[in-house]
């Protein structure tokens, strides 16, 4: 086989692409893929095959590498192949897909759930299906990019979009009171993926009820992690969301997304949610693995307990609450964050540096994520490395995320 061939873009395109990348380079914001080894057997993904300890994974319970999940995936592949051979509305919604949807509805305490190929697709499909000129969406400033893009598409229908300061329930209430549309949607992350904090769900529920709005909560980082049964941030807060959006790619350790709520609303998304309608359904082995992961999580509450113990150890070291497995270490300067990540990588620890535009200017950080399959020694080694590796004029510091 011959090697890769150089393909030239037309001059106008070559110049435009080069200029866009040069802008990224000038701001030290150009991204590069850095391959990491797959999880080694028996570690649940806490270590790569080369011994690198992973502190950037969203596999919060270690279910991606659990033996029962591995076996379920392998058995489904042997029996059914990859599948699913089409979109859900064509031939891709198998009996296994239906079982998974029912299990997710049961977990979230809703009438129904609808699977989507990714959490991104679930958010954009839902928001697009809800949108029309009679709707105002009220969205937290730090909501996930999938919500932001879904709302950008919603604007094209004539829907109004109000973005409120992060975690500010009073601003949400004011936006609802001031709207000039008959219907409204409050949409928020349950757990914010870069900050690790939890939305003020009780206050948002109260505001939504007072103004006849529905509350949509993205439980991507709360599912199987928060709450007595692992239903998420809403369960932990004792709050009912009208619609839950979730993903199977975080604590479930698989791939895919879902929308859970009223059966009629799920039917609306099935019929109007373009990101769901026009995407191939999830591969059958992935569905089987997700079902096995839900089973393991249900019968092994000790996984959540172990994760919370790691959070408590970090809280003790930081002197502040750590309500979720996402622990941001804000360094401010981009070079400091990149340098800290490189130092940790040299010490055998993979911790990703997050820079603008993913986070606001001046808040570059290490995004540390904890997992139930980390050992106590892993956590202590990371804390020690962070203490030894602090950089910057002030010696480095842990700090609460500013309310932006």
Every domain of the chain and the residues it spans: 42-60+325-388, 67-298
Architecture of domain 67-298: 3-Layer(aba) Sandwich (3.40)
Q: 160 Cβ partners below 8 Å, 6+ apart?
A: 135, 136, 137, 179, 180, 181
Phi-psi region of 403 (alpha: psi -120 to 50; beta: other; left: phi over 0): beta
Question: Catalytic residues, which ones?
Answer: 193, 221, 250
pLDDT in tens, 245-278: 999 999 999 999 999 999 999 999 999 999 999 9
- The answer for residues whose C-beta is within 8 angstroms of residue 118's C-beta and 6 or more apart is 247, 249, 255, 256, 257
Q: How many Cβ atoms from other residues are within 10 Å of residue 389's Cβ?
A: 18
Q: Does residue 369 register a pLDDT over 80?
A: yes
Residue 189 and residue 226 in contact, taking contact as beta carbons nearer than 8 Å: no
121 Rama class: left (phi>0) / alpha (psi -120 to 50) / beta: alpha
> With contact defined as beta carbons under 8 Å apart, do 327 and 314 qualify?
yes
Give the angle 44-46-49 at the CA atoms, nearest 5°. Answer: 90
pLDDT of residue 174: 99
Reference 276, options 130, 71, 129, 82; nearest CA is 129
Length of the chain: 404
Same fold, 42-60+325-388 and 67-298: no
Task: Name the pTM for this structure.
Answer: 0.90
Question: Residues 17-29: pLDDT tens digits?
Answer: 999 999 888 877 7
Structural element, H or E, at residue 299: helix 284-299
Identify the CA nearest to 329 among candidates 384, 399, 402.
399
Mean pLDDT calculated for residue range 362-370: 95
CB 398 within 8 A of CB 320: yes
Pick from 145, 96, 91, 157: nearest CA to 121: 145
Chain CA centroid to CA 114, Å: 18
Q: How far from the centroid of its chain's Cα atoms is residue 119's Cα?
A: 8
Q: How does residue 403 score in pLDDT terms, banded at 50, 70 and 90?
A: very low
| Residue 335: pLDDT over 60 | yes
178-218 pLDDT per residue, tens: 999 999 999 999 999 999 999 999 999 999 999 999 999 99
87 contacts 279 by C-beta, under 8 angstroms? yes
Asked if residue 46 has pLDDT above 70, the reply is: no
In sequence order, which ranges of 2-131 are alpha helices (DSSP H)?
A: 11-26, 67-80, 95-108, 119-130
- How far is the CA of 27 from the CAs of 22, 316, 374, 393, in angstroms? 9, 36, 35, 22
Q: Is the pLDDT of residue 400 over 90?
A: no
401 confidence band (pLDDT: 50, 70, 90): very low
Residue 50: pLDDT band with limits 50, 70, 90:
low
CATH fold of 42-60+325-388, please?
Answer: 3.90.1150
326 pLDDT tier (thresholds 50, 70, 90): very high
Sort strands 364-369 and 352-354 into parallel, antiparallel or unpaired. antiparallel
What pLDDT band is residue 3 in, cutting at 50, 70 and 90? low
Identify which has the larger pLDDT, 402 or 193. Answer: 193
Q: How far apart are CA 195 and CA 175, in angstroms?
A: 24
pLDDT at 71 over 80: yes
Work out the pLDDT band at 102, boundaries 50, 70, 90. Answer: very high
List, for residues 293-312, the tens digit of each pLDDT value.
999 999 999 999 999 999 99
- Band (pLDDT 50/70/90 cuts) for residue 39 is low
7: how many CB neighbours lie within 10 A of its CB? 5
Between CA 360 and CA 381 the distance in angstroms is 29
Q: Which residues lie across from 198 on neighbouring strands?
A: 191
């Amino acid at each position: 086989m011959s090697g890769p061939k150089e393909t030239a873009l037309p001059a106008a395109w070559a110049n435009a692409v080069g200029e866009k990348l040069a802008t990224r380079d000038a701001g030290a914001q150009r991204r590069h893929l850095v391959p990491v080894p797959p999880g080694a057997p028996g570690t649940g993904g806490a270590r790569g095959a080369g011994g690198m300890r992973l502190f950037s994974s969203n596999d919060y319970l270690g279910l991606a590498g659990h033996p029962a999940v591995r076996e379920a995936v392998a058995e489904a592949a042997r029996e059914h192949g990859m599948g699913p051979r089409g979109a859900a509305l064509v031939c891709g919604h198998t009996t296994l897909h239906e079982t998974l949807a029912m299990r997710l509805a049961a977990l979230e305490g809703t009438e129904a759930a609808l699977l989507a190929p990714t959490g991104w697709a679930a958010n954009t499909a839902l928001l697009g299906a809800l949108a029309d000129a009679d709707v105002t969406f009220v969205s937290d400033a730090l909501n996930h990019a999938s919500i932001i893009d879904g709302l950008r598409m919603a604007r094209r229908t004539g829907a109004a979009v109000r973005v409120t300061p992060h975690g500010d329930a009073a601003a949400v209430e004011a936006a609802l009171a001031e709207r000039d549309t008959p219907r409204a949607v409050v949409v928020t992350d349950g757990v914010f993926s870069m900050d690790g904090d939890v939305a003020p769900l009780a206050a948002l529920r109260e505001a939504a009820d007072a103004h006849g709005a529905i509350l949509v909560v993205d439980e991507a980082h709360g599912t199987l992690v928060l709450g007595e049964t692992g239903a998420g941030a809403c369960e932990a807060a004792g709050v009912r969301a009208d619609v839950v959006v979730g993903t199977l790619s975080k604590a479930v350790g698989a791939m895919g997304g879902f929308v859970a709520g009223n059966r009629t609303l799920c039917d609306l998304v099935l019929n109007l949610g373009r990101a769901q309608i026009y995407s191939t359904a999830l591969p059958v082995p992935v569905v089987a693995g997700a079902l096995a992961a839900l089973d393991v999580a249900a019968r092994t509450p000790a996984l959540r307990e172990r994760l919370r113990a790691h959070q408590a150890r970090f809280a003790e070291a930081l002197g502040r609450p750590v309500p979720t497995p996402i622990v941001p270490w804000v360094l401010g300067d981009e070079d400091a964050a990149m340098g800290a990540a490189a130092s940790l990588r040299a010490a055998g620890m993979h911790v990703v540096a997050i820079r603008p535009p993913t986070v606001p200017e001046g808040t570059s950080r290490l995004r540390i994520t904890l997992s139930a399959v980390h050992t106590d020694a892993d956590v202590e080694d990371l804390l020690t490395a962070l203490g030894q590796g602090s950089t910057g004029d002030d010696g480095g510091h842990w700090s609460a995320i500013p309310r932006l």
